[in-house]
C-alpha cells in the first residue's frame, strides 16, 4: 500500500527536509502533496486522497491547530491520521492536540523517528514489509 502524504509547513525548506526524510524512511510512498498553511492544506485534502498529514503548528493564515479543528469537524476527514511535526514546547497545547487524535514528532528528527511515528499512527502497516520497502 503506497501512502499519499500531505506535508503542511510554512517553510518551503522544512517541507523539502520532511519530504526527503520520508523518502529515506523506506515507507511505501505514493503521492506527496505540499501546503504552506492550514487553509491551503484543506484545499489539497478536498481534492486528493490523503492517507496521512504531517502538520506544523505555527503557520500564518491558518495554523495547524485550527486546521485540525476543521478536519475533525468534517465527517469526511474526521479520522484523517495527523502527525504534528513541530518545535512546540507547550505541554498543555500538545495535550489538547493529542486529545484530537494527533501524534507528535519533534524537530529535529531522523528518518527512523518519522518512520516509527507513521507506523504507530497508521497501525495497519506491516512494520517488517515497510522496513524493507515491499509494501
Residue 85 cell numbers, joined: 511535526
Q: What is the pLDDT of residues 33-78, one digit of tens each?
A: 999 999 999 999 999 999 999 999 989 999 989 999 999 999 999 9
Q: What is the pTM of this model?
A: 0.87
**Calpha distance 73→62 (Å, rounded):** 16
Q: Name, in order, each residue with C-beta under 8 angstroms of 130's C-beta and a sequence gap of 6 or more.
A: 26, 27, 28, 115, 119
Give pLDDT, residue 100. Answer: 87
Amino acid at each position: 500500500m503506497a501512502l499519499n502524504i500531505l506535508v503542511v509547513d510554512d517553510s518551503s525548506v522544512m517541507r523539502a527536509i520532511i519530504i526527503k526524510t520520508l523518502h529515506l524512511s523506506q515507507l511505501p510512498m505514493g503521492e506527496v502533496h505540499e501546503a504552506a498553511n492550514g487553509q491551503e492544506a484543506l484545499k489539497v485534502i478536498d481534492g486528493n486522497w490523503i492517507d496521512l498529514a504531517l502538520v506544523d503548528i505555527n503557520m500564518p493564515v491558518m495554523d495547524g491547530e485550527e486546521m485540525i479543528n476543521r478536519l475533525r469537524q468534517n465527517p469526511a476527514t474526521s479520522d484523517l491520521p495527523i502527525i504534528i511535526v513541530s518545535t512546540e514546547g507547550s505541554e498543555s497545547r500538545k495535550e489538547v492536540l493529542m486529545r484530537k487524535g494527533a501524534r507528535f514528532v519533534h524537530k529535529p528528527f531522523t528518518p527512523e523517528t518519522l518512520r516509527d511515528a507513521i507506523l504507530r499512527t497508521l497501525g495497519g502497516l506491516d512494520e517488517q514489509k515497510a522496513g524493507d520497502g515491499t509494501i
